[in-house]
Structure 1
């Protein structure tokens, strides 16, 4: 089927696409967890941003990027996201559940105290309840896809994301992490999630295997860009607190993020000084944190990350061109690609003023 977007359909902004995905996902997601125990549902709804601790409704503030990608890749014609095929909608809901589960677990293991501009769920409900609520979401997503051929794709993504999370956590105790290690983990944690989203959407409209491989290329490379931008936000953005997390916690926690690994393995004097700083057991002072940021940049960590964004954006562009030769046929997809894979300048998602910046990888990290 031919997709018609861009100028012919009226270009939509990233915010409009997110709003469309939200309209599809949230009601179905809420209905899917209606019959879980009330305390579990209360925790899930708080984490997802449906209500506050007192149960008062709030506006869900996630980016819904995997859902956007699944729904866009399933579109034919110029219809709204809400008018896509049923299979793609089920996939979009399952992906949102999967990512919420990952983030519930990730906040506990990383001891991140903020998520989406509010205290993380584990700080309000406890570590154990947050972990088990995540397990409930994994299972609920399976039920959402029961009988669907998309279930195998979902199971693959869950396995790879958790393997990637394992690698990321284990890397914190290692001194020999390489850039290949980092990129493998980024692909498994975030790339495969978006690759799965693209494949789910395209499968829902019956795309053949050879084209599904191109859709996966788009999603995987976009997901790795997402992870790299998130790493850069954690180091260079002064607005990191706006995402609901303490600024530069990756540095204070000695995370081996992409720019850090690039600096540590650079063979430069700055990289050697950064390694010495990272090996110190004491918590960083504000001056040492500022020094670490400067050393990462001097050792080429920022340049490496910007180069990765550019190269992977080019790979996405090649795949999109092969999928949709006419530029107007991929306008909405290219809007999302531009938002995620453009050179890093700040933490603001396009359309958000910098002072209200939102971490663009907050739902996918």
Structure 2
């Protein structure tokens, strides 16, 4: 099967990956927006978990990762609920890992173990411990395929970087001991800057934060009034929205009315309507410098300053004043 991706171009992929891509759990991700509530408040913010999952798989392939790691990359987000991380706000899960906690049960009750077994892979062995997949996941502040793909994909799609910039950066990635690194300070500085555009300017964009807040309130109310169940969250975003809209619940319907692309909000630390903090997301990749591995911030004052500014912003959170619902 040939697969074409806007960032990584055209690739031939193995039969097992083709079958997994066609499976219901992976296809469902076409209906899960990467940004949680962002699509509802800005129609242009429309990257899906499906695109990202394909991207992570292809990035691992490009970096020479095994088929097993490509499989883990393709499947790493299949347990994301409708509206992605909004659910972490609903369940007050500060680690933002609700999807990781239900990953096993989602996989086990799907056709995925059967597909893997048919091709000689063991689902339990492949998917029970993602620390084995060192290209796919690394603890912050290092680079990994997951973090790299969503940053490049979102920032390219939303017009903050060009395709040639993204591809130039990819050419400056090296793999050592099964992990990915920028090949020098220039590439590291570029990625750090772009990553903070993603996690500060985009994730903490006041319109985005507003969408999260109101959608989380709506879903909380819907769960309390039994309009939806936790199982419903394994449907697509649109399917859950349809259930909410069809409900006769006044509180749910009234909250839903507040979520639309015409919303006007601003940041205001003094006269604000609500305050939201997100998981601290910092990046400071290691690079090889003068014959040793060091953090980029130890070599680059720019990286150190960007990290400090991002830390302060994330620690403070965002204070939102609603100008017009």
TMscore range, shorter length? 0.3 to 0.5
Q: TM-score, normalised on structure 2?
A: 0.33
Greater RCO, 1 or 2 (C-alpha within 8 Å, sep 6+): 1
| Higher helix residue share | 1
| Higher strand residue share | 2
Q: TM-score, normalised on structure 1?
A: 0.30
